[in-house]
């Protein structure tokens, strides 16, 4: 009968150690998960800064790059009232499809209320 009482007294010391080890393990795991989540975040993409001039041209609209960064036309989306507007094939762009200062893009619309969207960042170019 005494033998059983000795084992019970010894087990109470073990439970404190096991509890402490479990708490430390859980804390380390939580800190690791938070660190992984923070370090995997991508920084936001920069929206290019472009100064444009919009000029009506008959049934089309000319958008002239007046200043700012050169931008690949494939990264741009021209929107009028939520509808994407296509670029007219007659637009004089260089061979790399880069829209730079002084270059004009002709759009197939007669509406001059145009929003210019940068596709990679999904940001509005103002």
- Residue 60: enclosing H or E segment and its boundaries? strand 60-68
Please count the structural domains in the chain: 2
The domain in which residue 28 lies consists of 1-41
Query: Does the predicted TM-score (pTM) go above 0.85?
Result: no
8 three-state secondary structure: helix
- Same domain, yes or no, for 83 and 23? no
Above pLDDT 90, what percent of the chain?
44
Q: Which residue has the tokens 């660190």?
A: 35
- Same domain, yes or no, for 2 and 57? no
101's tokens? 């200062």
pLDDT digits (tens, 9 = 90+) for 55-83: 998 889 999 999 999 999 889 999 999 89
pLDDT at position 35 is: 95
- Same domain, yes or no, for 57 and 4? no
- Same domain, yes or no, for 6 and 54? no
105's tokens? 């893009």
φ, ψ (nearest 5 deg) of residue 78: -100, 125
């Amino acid at each position: 009968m005494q033998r059983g009482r000795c084992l019970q007294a010894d087990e109470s010391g073990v439970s404190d150690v096991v509890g402490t080890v479990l708490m430390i393990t859980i804390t380390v795991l939580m800190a690791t998960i938070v660190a992984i989540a923070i370090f995997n975040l991508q920084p936001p993409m920069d929206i290019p800064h472009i100064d444009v001039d919009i000029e009506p041209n008959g049934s089309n609209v000319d958008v002239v790059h007046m200043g700012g960064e050169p931008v690949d036309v494939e990264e741009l989306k021209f929107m009028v009232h939520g509808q994407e507007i296509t670029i007219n094939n007659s637009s004089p762009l260089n061979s790399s499809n880069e829209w730079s200062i002084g270059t004009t893009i002709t759009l197939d619309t007669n509406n001059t209320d145009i929003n210019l969207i940068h596709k990679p960042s999904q940001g509005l170019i103002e």
